[in-house]
Amino acid sequence: MKNFLIAVPALMLLSACTPTRMSELNNINGLQYGVGSFGAEIIESYTVTRNQTSSNNILSMCVRNSIDNHAVVLQDNANSFVGASGTYYNINKQYVVNGGANIQQQLPNGIVAQGVTYYSSMLIGYAVKYQLTVRQNNNNISYTFNNIQQAQQNTGSMNNYGFSQIFTDKWSASGATSVVKKLDEEVDKIDSCLASY
C-alpha cells in the first residue's frame, strides 16, 4: 500500500511535465510530425496544396525568383568579459550558415529548392531554413517543406548553437506557429508569381 501511495503522486507529477503539442498546431492541415532530439516531437514536414497549374519553365522561374537562399549570419558575444580594470571587452562571434543556389534539382513534374526566411518574436529575430519540393499534379500544385529548422540570429551573451528542429510543445517557445506562417508566405509568393502568367 505504501508503494502505491508513493507511485501515484510520482506518476501524476511526471504526467504534468509531459510536453504537449501547441493547440494551434492541431488546426493546421498538412503538418507531419516526427521525433527529434531527446525524443521530443518536431515538425517533420509541412505540405500545402493550391489549385494552380503551370508549365515547368514558369514554375522553375517563379520558384527561383520567389525563394531566397542567401547566407544567414548568426551571432553571439558569449566570450565578452569585464577586465581587471573594469573595462568591458565585447567579443562578438559571427557564423555564416547556408547560402547558395536556391534551385537544387529539376524534377519531371516539379522542382526541389532550398530557402531561408525570417520572423521576429518579442524583438528576437529568427532565421528559418528549409527544403521545398514543388510538384505539379493534375489540377493543382503541392508544396512540401522538409528539413525545417530555425536559429536565433543573435543570442547575446549565450552561445549561439545554430539551427535546430522545430519543436511542437507549448513549453519550448519554439515559434512553431510563426514558422508555419512564414512557410505559407513562401507559398503565397510563388503562387502569386504563377498567377501572373
- For residue 5, being part of any structural domain is answered with no
Decide if pLDDT at 7 tops 60: no
* Contact call for residues 97 and 126 (beta carbons, < 8 A): no
Residue 60 is assigned to a structural domain of this protein: yes
For residue 98, the enclosing domain spans: 21-195
Average pLDDT, the chain: 86
Q: Is residue 118 part of a domain?
A: yes
Reported as a pLDDT band with limits 50, 70 and 90, residue 12 is very low
CA separation for the pair 103, 123 (Å, rounded): 31
Answer whether 0.75 is exceeded by the pTM: yes
In a domain, 1, yes or no: no
In a domain, 140, yes or no: yes
| Structural domain count of the chain | 1
Q: How many CB atoms lie within 10 A of CB 155?
A: 18
Give me the CATH number covering residue 80. Answer: 3.30.530.50
Name the residue type at position 117. T
pLDDT confidence of residue 10: 45
Query: Is position 15 within any domain?
Result: no
Beta strands in the chain (DSSP E): 31-35, 41-50, 72-76, 81-82, 88-89, 93-97, 103-107, 110-121, 124-136, 141-152, 164-165
Question: Does some domain include residue 184?
Answer: yes
